[in-house]
Structure 1
């Protein structure tokens, strides 16, 4: 009887994801340990059915688990400004100005009618600090030891076009567990965007994706802009859109992006400020 179940498990493993294989091996060891096979053929059939359901659930549950990654589900006010619902913001303060906005200018939206705008500026600051950071984060429930793909689109604009091509950096990172803290993140990854556009003359969005394994039941995703140098009167704007974390959902559903409905073309304006 055990040979029958073992051959069934091995056949199923060939089609399962790495996460499901790990779960299957754990189930197999449990069966051997507790002697569940004393129930005979009915036990073997039940086991095969369980594995089949697990396979179908795993395959069907690969979705975007982030909420409002396309910023079409509204914004809310935090101390830093307006942030997409489901997200929170952070900065490291110092001698710099920060702004977070619901950007609805069609030229700074990758899809739909909204994007998250993050601003770091040194307007009116004679000696601005270097190494200023501003970003957003979201904590979500995940399946531990499962693989996830983090992807996003973004555009960098500035008021100073000349200078070091590495003076502005966009980075992503993640931390395990329920309690977010961007200052304790150790796995920051540079997205490699080196194209900057003039503040009032946007260009195209850049793309980035990376893969990682969740090590806990919860993970927090962080995206930040890094203004390296303390250049007076300089402003940098980062537009983020279509951020997704794709992988298995413990709830069996994900967050689909809203249908694309581009805003009508309009001239440049200060987001959430009088034109």
Structure 2
């Protein structure tokens, strides 16, 4: 359930447009700083004020969105627990590459994966990087007790891709690997989480040209550096498998953009 704010006699979402404007101001100042390389007191003050507004945006998202699941057999809705953090387009790829210069790589997907793998645990928050054509990155982190929360955030990314300004998407999440038994389809997400299962941490990347990459790690082996290194070097897939169903809306959005660009 999402609360929206409209002008009278209009289907125009005012809050969404205000949020986009604030994020654009932040991206503009970041770009100016990167191009010019000099600081300015007035700009510093403005950036701090915009940063305050971004925190308000995140709070609005938290207060005005609720995730539910409907159980048909019991004819009831369940409201999910969740957390969410969207820090906007405030990561520059160039700045990120500088921080990881010792890796001697500009491979953004590898950098994204290593930033998560450093904790050596499956106890992570699902995270999406939206990489824009202007080399800025929007970082979305979220978690919840329902699959609905994941699907809603995937839908947010899909709508962002439709605007035509997205270069690629990176996504990390944790999956439960369960042995099949009769009746498993009838279990809710919460019920499945209570079963003994193996955990897999899954990294995926899809870009505007529909090029795909995927890493999958056994959660029990993350503490072994040799295992992680071996997967990173030798087990990078060029087709998304485990995470494919979840991100189909994202893949389809990129496909639609590609079709539209051919028409022009």
Query: Normalising by the residue count of structure 2, what TM-score does the alignment of the two structures yield?
Result: 0.22
Point out which structure has higher relative CO (alpha carbons under 8 A, 6+ apart).
1
**Greater helix share, 1 or 2?**
2
**Greater strand share, 1 or 2?**
1
